[in-house]
Structure 1
């Protein structure tokens, strides 16, 4: 990957990639692996970009697809090992995961189903329902309903944790 491509086409959207990767990882090491894999896939598939949508929408779609693929792969590998990792300890050990209130939010978001997690992340990025629908592959009118349900679930979880 050329540094020009990274500087011009990935780095301006690093915030998007970071937020999504963070929502699907528990450790700094996993986060870095996910981020690197997303960047690699963006570079590999750059010629497939057809300009049907904004570049940022395309970045969201690739990032979500890579993260979901890596999560599924990880789940298959974990079921083979049959061992549990204490994600609370892992989160506390990593410096990128120190902010307690942010950790609570990410923990609540991580408890959501994969698609709901993606929807709420896009909502938090202030994407329109139409953009979210295009990225996720659902109808725009269903996005609003799902967002309201997700927000209620998150409120309930966060309230229970704080109180």
Structure 2
């Protein structure tokens, strides 16, 4: 969900797998194994974005829509397309914040996952929501 291009997704998955393998010895058991894996993968994704420092493409990848429950109406599909295009124009950290929010994570959980304070997570989330709204309006669509 963090990369537009399938090749970039494969590179990121490979890097995540490598980082999990490399850091497995440091797993201390202070949290659930799945939580530790999630944290390593999220940090890897964020680091990947910083290293690449590339412009996010705005082409829509249809496979990502398969995970979202959408009714058959054209209006819902249109809204979803505008939202997804807007999300693709965000930077990596903003994408992570929005996706964590859409997963139902609290501000504290988002902050913990990103290594920032709860207050900072709240501010970044609100700014990202505002940015999404501006992008959607600028593209001539308003929910």
Q: TM-score, normalised by structure 2?
A: 0.67
Whether the 8 Å contact between 1:109 and 1:154 is mirrored in structure 2 is yes
The alignment covers a number of residue pairs equal to 130
Match of 2:101 in 1: 123
Whether the 8 Å contact between 2:49 and 2:92 is mirrored in structure 1 is no
Deviation at residue 95 of structure 1 after TM alignment: 6.0
Distance 1:59 1:158, change over 3 A: farther
Q: 1:155 pairs with 108, 133, 143, which one?
A: 133
- Which secondary structure does the structure 1 equivalent of 2:139 belong to? helix
Match of 2:12 in 1: 34
The root-mean-square deviation of aligned C-alpha atoms, in Å, is 3.1
Distance in 1 of aligned mates of 2:31 and 2:105: 13
Q: 1:50 pairs with 20, 28, 37, which one?
A: 28
Is the helix fraction higher in 1 or 2? 1
Stretch moving more, 126-135 or 139-148: 139-148
Whether the 8 Å contact between 1:97 and 1:103 is mirrored in structure 2 is no
Point out where structure 2 has 5 or more consecutive residues left out of the alignment.
Answer: 67-76
Point out where structure 1 has 5 or more consecutive residues left out of the alignment.
Answer: 1-21, 79-83
Match of 2:63 in 1: 96
Distance 1:129 1:158, change over 3 A: same
Distance 1:27 1:144, change over 3 A: same
Whether the 8 Å contact between 2:86 and 2:132 is mirrored in structure 1 is yes
Q: TM-score, normalised by structure 1?
A: 0.61
Deviation at residue 27 of structure 1 after TM alignment: 1.0
- Which secondary structure does the structure 2 equivalent of 1:155 belong to? helix
